[in-house]
Structure 1
């Protein structure tokens, strides 16, 4: 099972670069570092794994018989929005690199997200539609005993969060993993599943947010970024809604449809004097107030 899953990720990674014939794939697999025993890949096994890739990873690998029987990924555009698959592929690459001890010193990683040990029991509760009993410590309150129905988890800015309903109030909450001091899975609550999913849709719950804060309504925000920082923001957009609306040699104007939350303001400030908010006026004035308060701390 492990070998099959490794092959599936390996093949997706391989065909993402360019289409290949079965002979090419077989040759590369025999010489792959993942294939410890250098086992050959029979055509029947390849066909079975190809079907597994479609069912497990939702990757459609087809054969172009008119062009030399080359295999290619038919839904390549969809893969770009499949974040889970991208993470799996990245983990596969790191696992592959870690086998070569010489490469460990040239791959430098940021610290892993804290409290990742909570991930498995929370995902188990989501899968079984169970409530959870948590002790949650906020920075603003004393520790709380919470009855919680988890709906989905999110990894955001190197922190894990679980999103769901607090059963005492039936309100939506976003809880950071590292603030959970203890947890126990409770009884199955299938009655809450439909109630929760009507209010919390994982696919678009944060669609108009920068991170995990949901404080304000979304609005169109225009910013100006001077050269050369504008080139970096094009390469790594601040938000998926970002688009260029005007461009000169000296700057680029961008428009985003996003909620102007605290963490979004933090992100804008990281670009220092190269970024200016153009509109709306209310948000521009809020940024001016933030900058005035920051300046006052240095006077």
Structure 2
């Protein structure tokens, strides 16, 4: 069997068990036979066990059997599927691919968005991360008349809002990180110069207090209280603004939320895009800034 077909089966199996909470092999098999992937062939216990082992080795996801509860299977470490982890992203992507492959008769009714990026540069960037070597690249940022060349140390990559970003550091400069959009990289080559990736660097912690891709340690962390009107509260509940989001109070007219982060320009842009459906309550400086920006926008009309 081709590797891609196997990956589809792994994604389907994890997704089926995760969504069920707990499920027997017999129930899994019934759902399996309803997919085009099965070809009408049962999933045997030996195949199931091989898939379990492969899923553990590739994704670090543990499928356990509760013998005391009717021999039902469940995801032992389900938390990895509830985080912004590579396992979650890979399985989500594979699950969508599997769903699309199983829906050929309605392909023309499933509309997707493309992700603008040079896959070759992304591949090279990740190779450089694995080898801990510096990269030399040519980059043309927005608003610049000409591209610039630089040699940097590749630390991590991040996908957000359909764009791939690389987070890099200039050799010899302590502490400061720079964010590069892959669709603005004109060329990228690996060098032979090694660099020491800090063992104590935590990519998740790096963005923990940020919104989106903007990271600026000069912007202090603040607790922000936001009032959402109408249906906007449902959107914030389903798609939280930030992992720190808390719901404070809810009435028939509004719901108050709280987040703790560095309020950089990208966060303000998100708030402004909600128009009259949200109001910043605290801090006062941010409420004033929002008011000013709305007034400036209104003057354009």
**TM-score, normalised relative to structure 2:** 0.88
For residues 53 and 96 of structure 2, what CA distance do their matches in structure 1 show? 25
Q: How far off its partner does 1:28 sit? A: 4.3
1:86 corresponds to which residue?
A: 88
For residues 2 and 225 of structure 1, what CA distance do their matches in structure 2 show? 44
- 8 Å contact 1:128–1:188 — kept in the other structure? no
- Structure 2 SS opposite 1:192: coil
1:149 corresponds to which residue?
A: 153
Which of 277, 285, 289 is 2:288 aligned to?
285
1:180 and 2:185 matched: yes
- Structure 2 SS opposite 1:222: strand
Aligned length: 293
1:266 corresponds to which residue?
A: 269
Q: How far off its partner does 1:43 sit? A: 2.8
Q: How does 1:147-296 map to 2 (within 5 A)?
A: 147-167=151-171, 169=173, 171-187=176-192, 189=194, 191-194=195-198, 198=200, 200-215=201-216, 216-296=219-299
For residues 160 and 33 of structure 2, what CA distance do their matches in structure 1 show? 38
Which segments of 5 or more consecutive residues in structure 2 lack a partner in the other structure? none
Deviations 1:229-277 (A, max 9, x none): 2222222211111111122111111111011111111100111112111
For residues 233 and 30 of structure 2, what CA distance do their matches in structure 1 show? 44
For residues 167 and 102 of structure 1, what CA distance do their matches in structure 2 show? 53
When the two chains are superposed, the root-mean-square deviation of aligned CA atoms in Å is 2.2
Which segments of 5 or more consecutive residues in structure 1 lack a partner in the other structure? none
- Greater shift, 57-66 or 18-27, is seen at 18-27
